[in-house]
C-alpha cells in the first residue's frame, strides 16, 4: 500500500485545552465521536492516508495536549511539520483570544517559514456561540491562514478541513518531497523566498 503513496506529511494540531482537537482528529481518522473524550496525555498520534486528486498522501498527525502542564512537550513537534491545524472553540471567546499566543509559539518553533496553517473554529453545533464566523475569517486572513468552521460532533467541515490543508501543502512546491521509503520526512529542506504559503481561505457551506 505504501508504494503508491506520494508523500508523507507531518501535521500538527494545536490549540487551547478542551477546544476539541482530539475529537476533530478522531472524527477524521476513525469517524467516531466521544462526548466524554478525556484529556490528551502528552501527545497523541494517528496515521491516515488521504487521496487528493488521485494522489495519495500519508498523513502523520500529531495531536498535542492543550493542558498547560503538557505545554513544554509541544515545541518539539513543530519541527518538520508541513501543516498545522489551529483549533478554537466558537463557544469560548478565551480560546479565540489566545490564538495569538499559539501563533507566536508556532512562529518560534517551526523549522520552515512556508508551513501551511489552518484555523478551525470547532463546536458550531452548539447554540451558545461567542465567536462570530466573520471574526474567525478576519483573523485567518490577517495571518494568512486557511479557515473553516467545523463540528466534530456533527461531522461538519472536518473532512474538508484536512483535505484543504493537504491540498494546499501539495500545491506548495518545496514543502514536501516524494519519498519512496514511506515515513521519512526530511528536515531542513527549506526553500527561501517562497513567501507566505497562502493567502487563501476556503468557504464552507
Partner 1 sequence: MEEKQSHADANLSPDPGGAGTEDRGPEKMISRQLTEQSRFAFAALCGVSLGQLFVGSENSVFKQQYLQGLVQWLDLDESVMPVMGAFLSGLGFEGTDTFLSILQADPLVAAGATPIIQDLVSLSVKEGQYDARARVLIRHVSCLLRVSPQQLEEFEETLGERLREAGEESEEESSRRRRRERGRKLRRYLLIGLATVGGGTVIGVTGGLAAPLVAAGAGAVLGAGGAAALGSAAGIAIMASLFGAAGAGLTGYKMNKCVGAIEEFEFRPMSSGKHLHLTIAVTGWLCSGKYSSFQAPWCSLGECGEQYCLMWESRFLRDLGSAMTTLLDGLVSMVAQEALKYTVLSGIVTALTWPASLLAAASVIDNPWCVCLNRSAEVGKHLAQVLRSRQQGQRPVSLIGFSLGARVIYYCLQELASDKGSEGVVEDVVLLGAPVDGSEKSWERMVRVVAGKIVNGYCRGDWLLGFLYRSSAAQLSVAGLQPINIQDRRIINVDLSSVVKGHLDYMRQMDTILVAVGVPTKEVPGASFLLPQSVKAAEKTVDNLDQARKEQQNNGLEEAELDDEHISWSWDDPHWTTERSPK
**Interface residues with partner 1 (CB under 8 A)?**
38, 40-47, 60, 62, 69-70, 72-73, 75-77, 79-80, 183
At closest approach, how far in Å is the CB of 183 from partner 1?
7
At closest approach, how far in Å is the CB of 169 from partner 1?
18
Q: Which cell is 20 given?
A: 476539541
When the beta carbons of 115 and 131 are compared against partner 1, the nearer one is 115
When the beta carbons of 182 and 195 are compared against partner 1, the nearer one is 182
At closest approach, how far in Å is the CB of 127 from partner 1?
30
Q: Which cell is 116 given?
A: 501551511
When the beta carbons of 15 and 157 are compared against partner 1, the nearer one is 15
At closest approach, how far in Å is the CB of 129 from partner 1?
30
When the beta carbons of 67 and 159 are compared against partner 1, the nearer one is 67
Give the residue among 16, 10, 62 at the shortest CA–CA distance from 39. 16
Amino acid at each position: 500500500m505504501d508504494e503508491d503513496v506520494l508523500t508523507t506529511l507531518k501535521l500538527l494540531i494545536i490549540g487551547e485545552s478542551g477546544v476539541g482537537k482530539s475529537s476533530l482528529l478522531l472524527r477524521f481518522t476513525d469517524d467516531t465521536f466521544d462526548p466524554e473524550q478525556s484529556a490528551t496525555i502528552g501527545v497523541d498520534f494517528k496515521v491516515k492516508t488521504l487521496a487528493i486528486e488521485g494522489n495519495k498522501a500519508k498523513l502523520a498527525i500529531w495531536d498535542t495536549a492543550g493542558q498547560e502542564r503538557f505545554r513544554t512537550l509541544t515545541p518539539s513537534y513543530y519541527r518538520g511539520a508541513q501543516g498545522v491545524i489551529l483549533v478554537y472553540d466558537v463557544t469560548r471567546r478565551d480560546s479565540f483570544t489566545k490564538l495569538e499566543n499559539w501563533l507566536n509559539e508556532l512562529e518560534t518553533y517551526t523549522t520552515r517559514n512556508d508551513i501551511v496553517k489552518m484555523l478551525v473554529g470547532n463546536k458550531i453545533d452548539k447554540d451558545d456561540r461567542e465567536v462570530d464566523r466573520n471574526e474567525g475569517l478576519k483573523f485567518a486572513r490577517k495571518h494568512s491562514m486557511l479557515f473553516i468552521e467545523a463540528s466534530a460532533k456533527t461531522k461538519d467541515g472536518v473532512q474538508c478541513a484536512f483535505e484543504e490543508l493537504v491540498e494546499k501543502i501539495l500545491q506548495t512546491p518545496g514543502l514536501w518531497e516524494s519519498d519512496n521509503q514511506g515515513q521519512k520526512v526530511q528536515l531542513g529542506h527549506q526553500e527561501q523566498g517562497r513567501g507566505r504559503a497562502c493567502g487563501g481561505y476556503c468557504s464552507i457551506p
